[in-house]
Amino acid sequence: MKRKMLMLVILLAAIFTTTFSADVMAARKPDRPMAKMAEDLLIDLLSSKNETKAIQAARELGFRKTQTSLDALLQGLMLGPRVKVAKAMLESVGRRVSPKTKMVLLFYTNHRRRSLRLEALSGIAALFEKTGDQDCLVALEKALHDYDASVRSSASWLLGKVARKMTAQQLMTVEDTLLSLLARGDKGALLGLGTVGGIRSAMALALELKKRRFTKVELVKAMGSMLMNPRFGPEPVRMQIIDVLTMANVPDASAALLQYTASGPMKFRRSRMYARTKLEK
């Protein structure tokens, strides 16, 4: 009976995930009120006194593929526009690849405004994904030491997001930095370790459960991310994480195991079956 109930829950979870993903994709369809406007008019609106129009023009120029539109955005950013307009410009510039784009984004990763540093880091991460530029990775790592906790957390999350583009040596370097932050009690490190971390990180997270510096939910989510990472292994280590999650005795741990059995990497069939047996008990 328990087995049938488990299979039903897994099926429902898979259906929910598919439906939710479709809804999210539909919700992300960009709003482009100026889609039909001529490019030269959009460029003129960047300096408009109407902040809303300036923001809309900056976002629309991000969808144009011309060098003129990119040059206008980069020039506008160097002139120091209003914060909300600058944020929209950075968002648009982050979609484009060029040496000038990198230069401006790197400049803004040191801006005094937190919101602009965050937007610039997002663009830098996107640029690293497209080009593998070492300077972009260095900027993301540097942001792990930002004085603002939200910037450190964002940098950690972004490093996890682009981990698949890193070399083995780069992953090890980033993991070392994140583990150092974890040792100092910085919970932002957890956002990256779940994707970047290897066996050392798995051991560190398991030990943190005993230290109680972080909540069980925060640690469980990081370990659940490790299980979903196809680069993390081998099977015996995965099974140890499953044991730790089983003993955590929180709903989020069961949810992580359920997700792993339903949609974890196919090549780790043995540990996925092991997780299923743990859920059935």
Same domain, 136 and 156: yes
Asked if residue 16 is part of any domain, the answer here is no
> φ and ψ at 238, to 5 degrees?
-60, -40
217-263 pLDDT, tens digit each: 999 999 999 999 999 989 999 999 999 999 998 999 999 999 999 99
Asked if 221 and 191 count as a contact pair (C-beta separation under 8 A), the reply is no
27-63 pLDDT, tens digit each: 456 789 999 999 999 999 999 999 999 999 999 999 9
Asked if residue 133 is part of any domain, the answer here is yes
Asked if residue 24 is part of any domain, the answer here is no
Radius of gyration of the chain (CA): 22
What is the model's pLDDT at position 27? 46
Same domain, 111 and 173: yes
CATH assignment at residue 125: 1.25.10
Same domain, 215 and 181: no
Same domain, 243 and 257: yes
> φ and ψ at 49, to 5 degrees?
-70, -20
What is the model's pLDDT at position 85? 97
* Last residue of one domain, picked from the residues 152, 171, 192: 192
What is the model's pLDDT at position 9? 45
Asked if residue 256 is part of any domain, the answer here is yes
Helix then strand then coil, in percent of the chain rounded to 5, is 75, 0, 25
Asked if residue 66 is part of any domain, the answer here is yes
Q: The tokens of 159 are what?
A: 């490093």
Cα 193 from Cα 136, distance rounded (Å): 19
Total domains, the chain:
3
148-187 pLDDT, tens digit each: 999 999 999 999 999 999 999 999 999 999 999 999 999 9
Asked if residue 62 is part of any domain, the answer here is yes
Same domain, 203 and 143: no
pLDDT surpasses 70 at 6: no
267-278 pLDDT, tens digit each: 999 999 999 999
Cα 88 from Cα 23, distance rounded (Å): 25
Whether residue 234 is preceded by a cis peptide bond, meaning omega within 30 degrees of 0, is yes
pLDDT surpasses 90 at 14: no
Same domain, 175 and 140: yes
95-128 pLDDT, tens digit each: 899 999 999 999 999 999 999 999 999 999 999 9
What is the model's pLDDT at position 3? 55
What is the model's pLDDT at position 247? 92
78-96 pLDDT, tens digit each: 999 999 999 999 999 998 9
Same domain, 155 and 228: no
Parent domain of 76:
35-96
Same domain, 168 and 214: no
* Last residue of one domain, picked from the residues 150, 172, 192: 192
Cα 231 from Cα 173, distance rounded (Å): 16
* Last residue of one domain, picked from the residues 139, 165, 192: 192
Cα 209 from Cα 248, distance rounded (Å): 8
Asked if residue 7 is part of any domain, the answer here is no
Same domain, 187 and 202: no
Asked if residue 225 is part of any domain, the answer here is yes
More confident residue, 20 or 104: 104
Same domain, 77 and 119: no
